[in-house]
Structures are given as structure tokens and as C-alpha cells.
A and B are shown apart, each in its own frame.
Chain A
């Protein structure tokens, strides 16, 4: 169930170039949000809300963590919010990732697609899974949450220009990872296309982005065609997580 709530900002810090981690307090969302869901944030007076994934939840402290990158006017304004202010939020939105206990999971993230994979990895770890993560960033200055992912299991960082970790694209690294049961991927569409092509024989899930209006499934703004092209899925309501191959990227 989606609710409109006020979330108090507990902390905000810059964790990489143009990238901020914000911890928000709200009992309902921290208790009910599952990995892969997102928040629909009202920033200032903007006519449309901003969808941002949930990076982590801690029900014991009633907190929800988000990570966002400055990508335009709204995220820039969001980065200037102060501790103690309240954010007007709709959430939790969308469907989470299917969780398979006691499996080996390969998490593949790119840029601002990395955040939801942290909550996912943490939850899967608690369910007895082995976690391998491959995270791609533009360059060294954009890398974040490396230690957090290392605490979950084996981790590879990839940068486009090789300024940190492996050089190239996430697909250059996942080629060498063979032992896993499911993959979970979130990132820009070209990356998801390459990943799902590379791993087309494997079982996996992808989480995708599109510009949104309502965020609840009423306006048909955020659609993606199904594989056979005969229909559309709504990313906000049917997704943002889909079985790899279910939709046409």
C-alpha cells in the first residue's frame, strides 16, 4: 500500500562526486518497503515528483536511506535540503525484486542504478545467499558504497576510464563470473541491454527507469513495451523490476 508521508531528514552527506546519501525517518516506509521499491519525492514546488530508489531500510531505527546523483534542477535542490527538514513522499512505490533464499546472487549495477542493489544484497545475505557484486561507475570520483558492498561478499568495481578498479564496462567483468543462480541488474538502459544480452541464458531480473507522471499507474507515462511488442507494462506499477527478457529495452 502506498501512503503519502512526511519523512524527516536525519542526515545528508556527499559520498562521491555529485552524489548524496540521505537518511530519512519514517516508521511506515522503513517497516514495509522491500528491496527494489522506490520513493516518489516532492522537491520544492516542482510539478512532478522525483522517483528515487530505496538504498536501505532499518526498521529498528525507523530509517530509510536513499542515494541520489545531481542530474538536473530537482536533484540539485534536493541536495541542498537540511537535516531536520521534512520531505513530502509517496511510498513505497512499485514492486521489489523476487528473493531466492540460499542462492548465489550476482548484483550488476551502473551509476545511479547501484543504490537499490544494496538493500537487495543485504536482504539476500540475511536469507543465506552468497553475494557477488559488479558495480560500474564513470570514474574514480564517482565510486560509492564500495565498503558496504564488500561487507556483503565478493565485489568488483569497474570504471569506464580505468581510474579505479577494473577498466571498461560491467559486461567486461561479468564474463568472468560463472557461478551464480540469479542475476539482478539496475542501471542505464544501454547497460541493461548489454547485460541481458550477455546473460541471456541465465535467470535474472532488471530494474528500469523512465520519466514518470503519477507514479501510481494511472497516467500511462512510464511504459515499456513487452518483449513481443504487442503490449506495454507500466514501470511504476508493474515494475520497476522485471524478469529479464520480459520487456523490450
Chain B
């Protein structure tokens, strides 16, 4: 199995596959389907300082090759997550990545400190790109100065490696990536969802109560691949890639673009076994395209 291993700061992964934040809860539901110890890592649902109830419903809508969501960061708050969810995940032989969100710098700092103290979380994913909360959140992700501020604060608040999750809803993603790298980020996570809207014809109203939502699924895969490709050429830190991955061939495409590991989100809804199946299929796909190992494929996309 060593041909599937991949190494990122703080994350020596047995394979490059992890469920994406918000698409796997805290793992409990999916642990009924397969052994979570099979996964390279699990990225937990976003944690905020206090409990958040999220947005009114409907919160999701289907689109061509994807979906919109505006969950609004519903979560029980970092303290309850540490008390009730982290110990559950810690039973499995996998790495735990905590996705953290907030509307103020102080909130990010508080959440980062709390996870740091658990000794059970292996890395932080800094969600500066959630499009679905009114205050904060997205501003941190669209302005390079704010993005580096929050990165610095979180780096100071904990000893854990920090992966900054970038928003695709920007004109120049490379400048944000460079800014957070300079601010001390250990890695990048990309991409979050693209803001979108869908209108229900009979009622002339947006389907999602929040009006807009984040687009995910295969529809955004080409955007993700392009952004990872552009950013990986310009930064030294590794990238966890995501956006529309459904199978092992998609994983290889992300590796070629420059990702060192990948996360699978929306595809879990269609097929709860998808991460486990991708891990099974990955060796054959590496064989098929002439790669000895995952490490071998990272950044090997050829663009003349």
C-alpha cells in the first residue's frame, strides 16, 4: 500500500483520499458504511466559537452536474465538537483535520486554540471562504490582506499545521495564495464552492432560502483543476485539492494539476461508499496511466 502514501505538513497519509468538510459531518453516519480507518484523513464539518443554527430551509438545490448549498455553518460549536465528536473520530486509524470558521479574528483564534489543546487533531483547515454566512467569512477569503491576517492569528494560536481553504470567488486566486503562504500557511486547500443561484420558475423565487448558495460537484471540477494548476506553480506549500471528484481518475487529474492529496465532497451524497471505492480503485488507475505511486504523479501534468 506504500504506493498510495503522501506526505504533507503534519499529515503523513496512508492514501491521499479524505472526505471534504461539510459533506461527511463528523464521520458517525458514514462509519456505518465502512471502516473510517481506511481513509487518509477526515476533514470535519466547520467549527465556530459558539453553536450556529445556520440558514433557513431549503438549504440545497440540485443543478446540472452539481448542487447548490447554503447550510450556513450549522454546527454545535467547538467545545461540543471537542467533547462529543473528536473522541469518536480518534478511535479510527486516520488523521483528523478540523475545519474552522468564524466572523471575527478572535473567533478564529478561540477555535484554533481549542483544537490545539485536544492533542487529537492533526491539522487545521482554515475556512476563510464560506459563501453562505452574511458577516465575516467571505471577506477574509477575498482580500489578500485579511486572508494573511487571519492566517497569522491562527498560526500563533496553535502549533498545528494550518491549511488555508481558498475561495474560487476571486479574480486573482494566485495573489491570495501567495499572501497566505507569506503569512505562514503550511498548505492550501482548494477549492471551496462557487457562489450561484437557481430560480424556481412557478414561484419566481430562488429555490434556496438564502437566495444564493455554493456550487459544488462535477460542474466545478474544471475550475478547481485550473486553479490548482495555476497556484501550484506559484507557491512552495502543498495543496489539498477538491471540487467535483467522483472517482479515481478524477483524483489522478488533481494530482497531475499539482495537488498532493484530495478531498471528496458532494459525491458522498450519491454514493456513501465513494471514498472507500476510490481508495480501492486508485492503484489500478495509477497502473493504467503509468505511475508507480501517488507521489510520482503529483504535479506531472504537462502543459506545453
Q: Interface residues of A, CB < 8 Å — how many?
A: 29
Asked if residues B58 and A47 are in contact (CB atoms below 8 Å), the reply is: no
Asked if residues B23 and A219 are in contact (CB atoms below 8 Å), the reply is: yes
Taken together as a complex, chains A and B put the C-alpha atoms of A213 and B217 apart, in Å, by 12
A179 CB → nearest B CB, Å: 36
Q: Which residues of A contact B15 (CB under 8 A)?
A: none
Asked if residues A211 and B29 are in contact (CB atoms below 8 Å), the reply is: no
Tell me which residues from 264 to 289 in chain B have a Cβ below 8 Å from any Cβ of chain A.
266, 268-273
B219 CB → nearest A CB, Å: 8
Q: Say whether chain B's binding surface is mostly helix, strand, loop, or mixed.
A: loop
Asked if residues A220 and B269 are in contact (CB atoms below 8 Å), the reply is: no
Instruction: Using CB atoms and an 8 Å cutoff, list the residues of chain B in contact with chain A.
Output: 22-25, 28-30, 32-33, 45, 53-54, 57-63, 65-67, 69, 71, 74, 207, 217-218, 266, 268-273
Q: Which residues of A contact B22 (CB under 8 A)?
A: 219-220
Asked if residues B54 and A223 are in contact (CB atoms below 8 Å), the reply is: yes
Looking at A4, A74, A217, A223, the one whose CB has the most chain B CB atoms below 10 A away is: A223
Asked if residues B57 and A214 are in contact (CB atoms below 8 Å), the reply is: no
Q: Which residues of A contact B23 (CB under 8 A)?
A: 214, 218-219
Taken together as a complex, chains A and B put the C-alpha atoms of A222 and B53 apart, in Å, by 13
Looking at A47, A49, A217, A221, the one whose CB has the most chain B CB atoms below 10 A away is: A47
Contact of A213 among B63, B65, B67 (CB under 8 A): B67
Asked if residues B32 and A1 are in contact (CB atoms below 8 Å), the reply is: yes
Taken together as a complex, chains A and B put the C-alpha atoms of A216 and B23 apart, in Å, by 11
Question: 21 A-B pairs, CB-CB below 8 angstroms?
Answer: A4-B271, A4-B273, A46-B62, A47-B66, A47-B269, A48-B270, A74-B62, A211-B59, A213-B69, A214-B272, A215-B269, A216-B30, A218-B25, A218-B268, A219-B69, A220-B71, A221-B69, A222-B59, A231-B53, A232-B53, A232-B54
Asked if residues B62 and A47 are in contact (CB atoms below 8 Å), the reply is: yes
Q: Which residues of A contact B59 (CB under 8 A)?
A: 211, 213, 220-223
Decide: A211 near B270, CB < 8 A? Known: A216-B29, A218-B24.
no
Decide: A211 near B58, CB < 8 A? Known: A47-B67, A49-B270.
yes
Asked if residues B60 and A213 are in contact (CB atoms below 8 Å), the reply is: yes
